[in-house]
């Protein structure tokens, strides 16, 4: 584990204020991930137990990160986070209702998980000593979640390709807009939002490659989404 390189003061008002919004996004995101995996467990009965196990991991992440906030005396801003996550959650629910399983797996298993892996990797070097080991453990779990979705989609690539491309066009701009809304707060806690956006798109392109896309097609999907929403 790398030692913290953040020179700021975890207890200062500016840090705590920014952290309440960042922590809110993380706690709400993990809570929704828990719900999404439970819905997936119902939709994919042959993997039910595994998906319930993955959902339970997300519930633990939400509690552990909530603990990181309380350790600093910070309460997560849940209202803002719910508002920012709502379009992605609604999109997931719509796919679930319509029986669009590839859509559900892309939203939770690729978009949200790549976002989580990229964000936690960049948070790690600036995390306080209490949050660091928690973040390391969570990162290992998120890799497992990403692998599950990649494998499911890869095994059915020919049948699901069109649905995957369609949902990427809708879900990626929402993920990027969450990132954009938190840019200033990320800077305050020592993270670089543009580095994070770059890592997210690299990871996401890698995932698309793993499931069967060619490098050009994968790049096009993410570039089109980013162009619809300049990060500035
Ligand atoms: C998947 O398991 C859950 C996805 C949650 C989404 C997290 C997005 C995080 C954005 C800012 C991250 C900074 C990390 C701070 C940790 C308290
Ligand atoms: Fe998680
Ligand atoms: Fe996850």
Nearest CA to ligand 1 atom 5: 29
DSSP state of 192: -
pLDDT tens across 30-65, in order? 999 999 999 999 999 999 999 999 999 999 999 999
pLDDT surpassing 70 at residue 5: no
Which two tokens mark 217? 């097609």
Q: What is the pLDDT of residue 7?
A: 60
pLDDT surpassing 70 at residue 1: no
Percent of the chain, pLDDT > 90? 91
Atom of ligand 1 minimally distant from the CA of 112: 4
Q: What is the pLDDT of residue 43?
A: 98
User: Do 48 and 139 contact (CB within 8 A), yes or no?
Assistant: no
Q: How far apart are CA 135 and CA 215, in angstroms?
A: 30
Q: What is the pLDDT of residue 229?
A: 59
Q: What is the pLDDT of residue 8?
A: 67
Tell me, in angstroms, the distance from the centre of ligand 2 to residue 25's CA: 12
Q: Inter-axis angle of helices 157-181 and 113-123, to 10 degrees?
A: 40
Decide whether any atom of ligand 1 lies within 6 Å of the 142 Cβ: yes
pLDDT surpassing 90 at residue 101: yes
Alpha helices in 98-230 (DSSP H): 101-104, 113-123, 131-154, 157-181, 183-188, 193-211, 215-227
Which two tokens mark 192? 């670089």
Confidence of residue 232 (pLDDT cuts 50, 70, 90): very low
Q: Which ligand is nearest to the CA of 61?
A: 2
pLDDT tens across 71-82, in order? 999 999 999 999
Q: What is the pLDDT of residue 225?
A: 79
């Amino acid at each position: 584990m790398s030692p913290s390189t953040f020179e700021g003061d975890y207890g200062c008002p500016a840090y705590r204020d920014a952290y309440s919004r960042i922590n809110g996004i993380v706690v709400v995101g993990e809570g929704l991930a828990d719900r999404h995996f439970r819905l997936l467990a119902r939709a994919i009965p042959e993997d039910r137990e595994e998906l319930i196990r993955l959902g339970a991991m997300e519930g633990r992440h939400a509690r552990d990160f909530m603990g990181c906030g309380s350790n600093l005396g910070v309460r997560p801003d849940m209202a803002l986070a719910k508002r920012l996550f709502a379009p992605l959650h609604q999109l997931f629910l719509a796919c679930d209702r319509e029986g669009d399983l590839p859509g559900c797996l892309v939203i939770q298993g690729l978009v949200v998980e790549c976002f989580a892996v990229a964000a936690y990797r960049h948070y790690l070097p600036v995390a306080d000593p209490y949050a660091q080991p928690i973040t390391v453990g969570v990162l290992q779990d998120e890799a497992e979640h990403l692998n599950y979705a990649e494998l499911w989609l890869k095994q059915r690539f020919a049948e699901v390709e069109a649905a995957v491309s369609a949902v990427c066009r809708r879900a990626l701009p929402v993920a990027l807009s969450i990132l954009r809304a938190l840019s200033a707060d990320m800077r305050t806690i020592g993270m670089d939002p543009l580095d994070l956006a770059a890592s997210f798109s690299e990871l996401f392109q890698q995932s698309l490659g793993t499931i069967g896309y060619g490098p050009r097609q994968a790049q096009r999907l993410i570039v089109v989404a980013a162009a619809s929403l300049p990060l500035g």
